[in-house]
Structure 1
Amino acid sequence: MTWSIFTGEGNQHLETVVRIMESGSDHEAVILGGTLLEDAVLKTLLRWTRKDLSIQGKLTNVGGKLDTIAAQIDMLYLLEAIEKPLHEALLALNTVRNKLAHDLGAMLSDPSQKLSAALAKLTLHEGRGFYPNPDDMGDLAEKIGPVDTARDRYIVNLCLGLAELMHARIRRHRQLTGDQATVIAKQYVLTLPGKETVTSTADVYLPPDGAITTYPAADTEGGE
């Protein structure tokens, strides 16, 4: 399973992935997945908007017009940063997260009507046999495993959604800088005891001068 995450911020994203993969609780896995998604959506939105920290903060902080992940996903779609299938899948991932976060009785294995409708919209894996390289969205070597359960469906679509959001940030970086150098410059593999191997793709790019710069700090401030 391949996760497209940030490597800065004390490796919090990687630690969260480990917790998701090791968790036996649907509620914990979905809520933790939601935190990864929220962070990736916000960082992508900041990358796609003008670098004005005051206005960005006014819109995305609590009480702002874009203070919810749903509003931010909608704005990414309007900015043409993402296409309709990803827009719908990201909203559905957020719906699943909200349902499990606020309803202790909700279960992926026995979904309610609202949860079933959201899960049915998680279709990013359909027609794709391998996890994508966020650099160019070509196939990586790792195959997408069986999607037999609602939990499989949620986690696989979360991984694919994170990859597409990373691709959107890379695409924006290239639009702004004209830099066509290799962007994905850092990958590492983690094997969980008794579980599957996790491949982590870091959000980094390689500038022309050869110095490696990571995206987390830049993405926190947005893009010009």
Structure 2
Amino acid sequence: MTLPGGVRAHVQAQYDAVADESGLLLVAGKRDRIELALSKTYGRLWVSVSQSASRYFTRAGAPLGQGRSIQADAGIWLRQDEPDIALKMLGYANQFSATGGPEWLYAKLSPTGVPPTANSFIPAGDDVAGVGVTLNALAADRYSSHWVPFGEVDVLSSRRLGNAADLNLGLQGPVLGGDQLSFQYQREQNTTGLNRQWSLQYRIWFGP
């Protein structure tokens, strides 16, 4: 939705959703979350901020804890035609607290034979700031009649991890005409460890 002053607002609510903040949450947990995001564009400049609040549970329903996150980024488009290029600054702060604990049926997840504690599910919080550059970030939401590379590189400073770099690289283009196939590689370092992911997506475009 668009608010007065050209501010765009986005509200998202999740119930019993997949939780990927830690390995144990991904395997045996779930979350409820509400998030509010605001963004504003000033010509070639943009700024956005979002805040979310989450509650975590085991798949069986036992409470595990809560989390809060605030994220912000601001940037400038050096070029908006293809290939579009942008520079940005970004930062986020995550806070988590563990309460309660999993049921005994989750003892099978622990080599000791007793259920892991709630702290084992809930990740550590962190404060992060950094700078980044993007290539063809706008291409993901528009049809292209040829193959184009896209990517993002962020250089970050983390309170817990020190200096790190996140990568998001890919290639996308048409196969039969009005469609799009994309290959993507993502690498992210956070308090849960080093995460790498390959993805393949196929979309069909309708309309003009």
Same fold (TM over 0.5): no
Q: TM-score, normalised by structure 2?
A: 0.27
- By percentage of residues, which structure has more strand? 2
Larger Rg: 2
Q: Point out which structure has higher relative CO (alpha carbons under 8 A, 6+ apart).
A: 1
Q: TM-score, normalised by structure 1?
A: 0.26
